Amino acid sequence: MTADPQTRMKELAAQVLEHRRRYFVLDQPVLSDAEYDALERELRDLEARHPLFADPNSPTQRVGAAPLDSFRKASHRTPMLSLDNTYSADELREWEARVQKGLAGVEPRFSAELKVDGLSLSLLYEGRALVRAVTRGNGDEGEDVTENARTIADIPLTLPEDAPGTLEVRGEVFLSRRRWEELNRERDARGEARFANPRNAAAGTMKQLDSRITAERRLSFLPWQFPGAAHHSLGMDQLAAWGFNRMPAHAEGTFQEMLAFIEAQAQARLLLPFDTDGVVLKVDALELQERLGATDRVPRWAIAFKYPGLQATTTLLGITWQVSRAGKLTPVAELEAVEVAGSTVRRATLHNADELARLGVRVGCRVFVEKGGEVIPKVVAVVPGTLPEGAAEPQVPAACPVCAGAVGKDSDGEVAWRCQNPECPAKITARLQHLGSRAALDIEGLGDALVEQMASRFAQPWDVFTLLDDPKQGLAYLAGLDRMGEKSARNVLEALEAARTKPLSRWIHALGIPMVGARTAELLAETFPTLADLWGADEQRLLAVEEVGPKVAAALKAFAALHPALPAQFAALGIAPAPSAPRDAAGLPLAGEVAVVTGTLPTLGREEAETLLKRLGAKVTSAVSPRTTLLIAGEKAGSKLAKALALGIPVHDEAWLLDHATMEP
């Protein structure tokens, strides 16, 4: 028997809400997009046919309503106070001493949560339905942005039966970095000014009078206060049970444990898919919070520890161009020195010519600079109103800035401009740096500073092994270079000697063949026992190798054709790569680990990181599960990171992985 319209609408609303929760909050969808769309479409149709039964808290209201003329002011039930900020552990200890004094000997427990960099919001539920959302404003009153709040997928519109009839929840509205980048690409296409950072984008979005625009931008929400909860930490757990998100990184315990949490999150927080700028410490028990009280501005029972800022503004002094081992020309911003994330930044990437045009930078303008994952500084936007009048638009160099060779694109659809000179010194330098890198041959001592001094001596990167032809001459040459002595020079020669017989897979990767990363090199070495075998392979044999497609096969054939005598040259140089035989993982640094790689790592590609993990004894999988024992995460890590944190799986960065590579037998 078909349910009456009102009952069916309630059933559909509940199903849509649950599937949205699975999609947006849990990242565990159980329906295809088409199946979900069918449910929502049926609900919309019923609401259109039976408007008297339509629920104002229906999930269909997430799309936004007609524009408002202005926002109404609304008073907070209790003031939304600010927090005292501190930037040092010593100041945190001073705060803790004041807390101890205020509690007259009672030993409190503390809670700590990452501080989301967004816009504060107070949500009011009456009859377990969302009735009002108000910005912080001046602390006593803010702007009523209820219609905008209804569009945010992880703000529940209704609460379950076990929730109080009247409830206030305070938290932060924010935008994920991925969504911020998507919005900026959309604004680029429309010729609109970019959002400088996710926080500005989120704040501006919540101030939109047209809530349909807010809905399109897909904001997020995390609660940070449940007024009236007996313990803050338990209150946050309860909100999670009622359908709110829970901050993935949080802790409860002694003050010393809070200091350890702050130290641990300095790097770990950068792997989250949204921006955080510090940690909020709170006395956990409501009773003790009330005993401590507040000033007219801040509570005495809470404080915010701030990490060094990840973004700053500075002046663009000039634009230079770097040349990679594949000849790619990359624009680099030369900046007036500025502190970002605790270090001085004078240069930042501008990515490529297309990004240069999208940013609209001009020499002399002010720019926003940030450290992506606190690793590589990058220019993200121009400060509005700072473009100098008459400043010329930067252009791609007509000739290679290093060798003056021709510049062009390898194909019409390619973004990158490249130096076309195969003997460009910049290419040799970058290729020699790659050959000696940890991911390739791991030649100790062959660092960037040394390579830059010696690269002009060699026609090809593997020619560095000619230094072993006459060890005395090689030693004298190296010892005479800047910042080198006899001991350092001897160490480099010993490392070169050891590299001659490293596994073939590492040698194939070290050659810098386009489209051949560490994983592909490993698969090739399993099929072809010597470099001569690989060089003599026809296309059909190459295509038979797992993960080798027509483009990779073509790149291999082109590289072999460019260096046809390489196997013989290797023999003359005493280079005899060892066959890449499978190894027993027992005794390796990561034996028994089940690892997943997510996000963008600073120097290693995904394939390279996975190959390195396998070489260290780990089993690599593509999805996070309860069986996963470690996650290697980089910038823009998303749902896999969130799931790993929720499961308590250890999360590490590239530096940790490379450190373990030095333990490899």
Q: What residues does 86 pair with on adjacent strands?
A: 305
Highest mean pLDDT among 113-122, 308-317, 619-628: 113-122
Separation in Å, CA 452 to CA 16, 120, 204, 421, 455: 59, 50, 47, 19, 6
Q: pLDDT tens across 514-545, in order?
A: 889 887 898 899 899 999 999 999 999 999 88
DSSP assignment, residue 175? Answer: -
Phi, psi dihedrals of residue 490, rounded to the nearest 5°: -65, -40
For residue 128, the number of C-alpha atoms closer than 13 Å in the C-beta half-sphere is 11
Residue 292's identity, in one-letter code, is L
| pLDDT value at 34 more than 90 | no
Predicted local confidence at residue 664, as pLDDT? 54
C-alpha–C-alpha distance, residues 392 and 10, integer Å: 60
Tokens of 579: 């066959």
C-alpha–C-alpha distance, residues 544 and 537, integer Å: 11
Predicted local confidence at residue 25, as pLDDT? 46
Question: What residue ranges define each of the domains in the chain, with the CATH number in brackets?
Answer: 5-63 (1.10.287.610), 85-306 (3.30.470.30), 311-418 (2.40.50.140), 425-572 (1.10.150.20), 594-661 (3.40.50.10190)
DSSP assignment, residue 60? Answer: G
Q: What residues does 339 pair with on adjacent strands?
A: 344
Q: pLDDT tens across 163-218, in order?
A: 999 999 999 999 988 888 889 888 878 878 788 788 888 888 888 888 889 988 99
Residue 222's closest CA among 81, 76, 118?
118
Give the residue with greater pLDDT, 53 vs 396: 396
Q: How many CB atoms lie within 10 A of CB 442?
A: 19
Predicted local confidence at residue 374, as pLDDT? 45
C-alpha–C-alpha distance, residues 532 and 519, integer Å: 20
Q: How many CB atoms lie within 10 A of CB 82?
A: 13
Q: What angle do CA 349, 449, 431 make, to 5 degrees?
A: 70
Q: pLDDT tens across 212-223, in order?
A: 899 889 999 999
Q: Mean pLDDT for the chain?
A: 86
Q: What is the DSSP string of 183-212?
A: HHHHHHHTTPPPPSSHHHHHHHHHT-S-HH
Contact 329, 322 (CB under 8 A): yes
Predicted local confidence at residue 1, as pLDDT? 44
Q: pLDDT tens across 346-387, in order?
A: 999 898 888 888 888 999 999 988 875 445 788 888 888 889
C-alpha–C-alpha distance, residues 614 and 405, integer Å: 41
Predicted local confidence at residue 469, as pLDDT? 93
Burial string for 613-651 (b: 16+ CB within 10 Å, else e) reads bbbbbbbbeeebeeebebbbbbbbbbebbbbbbeeebeb
Q: pLDDT tens across 128-156, in order?
A: 999 999 998 878 888 999 999 999 988 99
Q: Could you give the residue numbers annotated as active site? A: 115
Predicted local confidence at residue 66, as pLDDT? 53
| pLDDT value at 326 more than 90 | no
pTM listed for this prediction: 0.54
Predicted local confidence at residue 210, as pLDDT? 87
Q: pLDDT tens across 403-449, in order?
A: 999 999 877 677 789 999 888 888 889 899 999 988 899 999 998 88
Separation in Å, CA 359 to CA 385, 541, 612: 14, 45, 36
**Strand 329-340 vs strand 311-323: parallel, antiparallel, or unpaired?**
antiparallel
C-alpha–C-alpha distance, residues 279 and 258, integer Å: 9
C-alpha–C-alpha distance, residues 369 and 348, integer Å: 8
Tell me the average pLDDT across 464-471: 94
C-alpha–C-alpha distance, residues 652 and 212, integer Å: 39
Over pLDDT 70: what percentage of the chain? 93
- Hey, CA dihedral for 116, 117, 121, 122, is it positive or negative? positive
Q: How many CB atoms lie within 10 A of CB 347?
A: 13
Q: pLDDT tens across 537-591, in order?
A: 999 999 988 778 898 999 999 999 989 999 999 999 999 999 865 555 667 888 8
Tell me the average pLDDT across 308-337: 89
Helix pair 518-527, 606-615: axis angle to 10 deg: 60
Predicted local confidence at residue 27, as pLDDT? 43
C-alpha–C-alpha distance, residues 172 and 115, integer Å: 9
Q: How many CB atoms lie within 10 A of CB 425?
A: 16
Residue located via tokens 């297309």: 354
319 by DSSP, 3-state: which?
A: strand
| pLDDT value at 54 more than 60 | yes
Tokens of 549: 């497609």
Phi, psi dihedrals of residue 153, rounded to the nearest 5°: -60, -30
For residue 242, the number of C-alpha atoms closer than 13 Å in the C-beta half-sphere is 26
Phi, psi dihedrals of residue 218, rounded to the nearest 5°: 55, 70
Residue 622's identity, in one-letter code, is S
For residue 96, the number of C-alpha atoms closer than 13 Å in the C-beta half-sphere is 19
Q: pLDDT tens across 378-414, in order?
A: 888 888 888 999 899 999 999 999 999 999 987 767 7
Burial string for 36-59 (b: 16+ CB within 10 Å, else e) reads beebbeebbebbeeeeebbbebbb
